[in-house]
């Protein structure tokens, strides 16, 4: 088979191009600010035609989202040993949430555009591998169910989707309300997921 017709090779080259484009964009965002960078500047700096960039990413928000997801995926891979040493579901989840808080506090100017894109495209798929943060929630929840820490009556993927929405909600609240602690918001979100919002001593 001609190597140019090898689907695996084409997929690798596409991922290499996506990574090149998003790394180039991230450098421009850092240097000039996210809002001021245009798609045309990204294409020029990456030395590709504008059409090539738009074929891969329809908007600047999509470029940003791919880069942020790649950053999150890399950070998650580095947390695997720390997570595996945690004894409880709460501790394992907090290990990831606290690392997420550290990253978000360093990149607040990117976060609103990223969340807007992700919420508007919640059902869409992209070329990012399956090891993202939503997948991490599902794996941890399934493990918590198997260990008897979480109710197994609901599918892990359904619970993970709910948890992911709560996570996005905590980030949006932190970005929108001045003076909030992101760690505090994430702790409250985790308590809500684990304990619910019902009154502990309410009427039967």
CA dist., res. 154 & res. 135, Å (int): 16
pLDDT digits (tens, 9 = 90+) for 80-121: 999 999 999 999 999 999 999 999 998 888 899 999 898 888
User: What does each C-alpha distance from 64 to 23, 25, 52, 123, 163 come to in angstroms?
Assistant: 10, 8, 16, 18, 23
CB 98 within 8 A of CB 37: no
CA dist., res. 122 & res. 109, Å (int): 21
pLDDT of residue 124: 60
Tell whether the model's pLDDT for residue 160 goes beyond 60.
yes
Tell whether the model's pLDDT for residue 130 goes beyond 50.
no
Higher pLDDT, 130 or 66: 66
Higher pLDDT, 75 or 185: 185
Tell whether the model's pLDDT for residue 128 goes beyond 60.
no
Higher pLDDT, 49 or 132: 49
* All domains of the chain in start order, with CATH: 1-57 (1.10.10.60), 60-195 (1.10.357.10)
Residue 203 pLDDT level (bands cut at 50, 70, 90): low
pLDDT digits (tens, 9 = 90+) for 4-40: 557 788 889 999 999 999 999 999 999 999 999 999 9
Mean pLDDT of the chain, nearest integer:
90
pLDDT of residue 119: 86
pLDDT of residue 201: 67
Q: Which residues are within 8 A (CB) of 6 and not within 5 positions of it... i.e. 6 or more apart? A: none
pLDDT of residue 200: 72
Helix, strand or coil, per DSSP, at residue 2: coil
Tell whether the model's pLDDT for residue 172 goes beyond 70.
yes
Among 117-126, 130-139, 150-159, name the most confident range. 150-159
Looking at the chain, the whole-number percentage of residues with pLDDT higher than 90 is 73
Tell whether the model's pLDDT for residue 48 goes beyond 60.
yes
pLDDT of residue 133: 86
Residue 180 pLDDT level (bands cut at 50, 70, 90): very high
């Amino acid at each position: 088979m001609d190597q140019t017709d090898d689907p695996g090779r084409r997929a690798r080259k596409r991922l290499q191009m996506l990574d090149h484009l998003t790394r180039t964009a991230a450098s421009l965002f850092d240097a000039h600010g996210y809002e001021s960078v245009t798609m045309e500047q990204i294409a020029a700096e990456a030395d590709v035609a504008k059409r090539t960039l738009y074929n891969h990413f329809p908007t600047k928000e999509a470029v940003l989202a791919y880069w942020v997801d790649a950053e999150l995926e890399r950070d998650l891979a580095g947390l695997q040993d720390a997570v595996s040493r945690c004894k409880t579901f709460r501790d394992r989840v907090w290990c990831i949430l606290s690392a997420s808080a550290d990253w978000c506090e360093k990149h607040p100017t990117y976060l609103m555009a990223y969340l807007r894109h992700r919420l508007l495209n919640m059902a869409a798929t992209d070329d990012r591998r399956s090891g993202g943060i939503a997948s991490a929630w599902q794996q941890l929840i399934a493990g918590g169910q198997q260990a008897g820490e979480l109710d197994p009556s609901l599918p892990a993927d359904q619970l993970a989707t709910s948890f992911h929405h709560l996570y996005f909600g905590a980030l949006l609240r932190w970005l929108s309300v001045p003076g909030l602690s992101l760690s505090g918001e994430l702790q409250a979100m985790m308590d809500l997921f684990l304990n619910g919002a019902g009154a502990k001593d309410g009427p039967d």
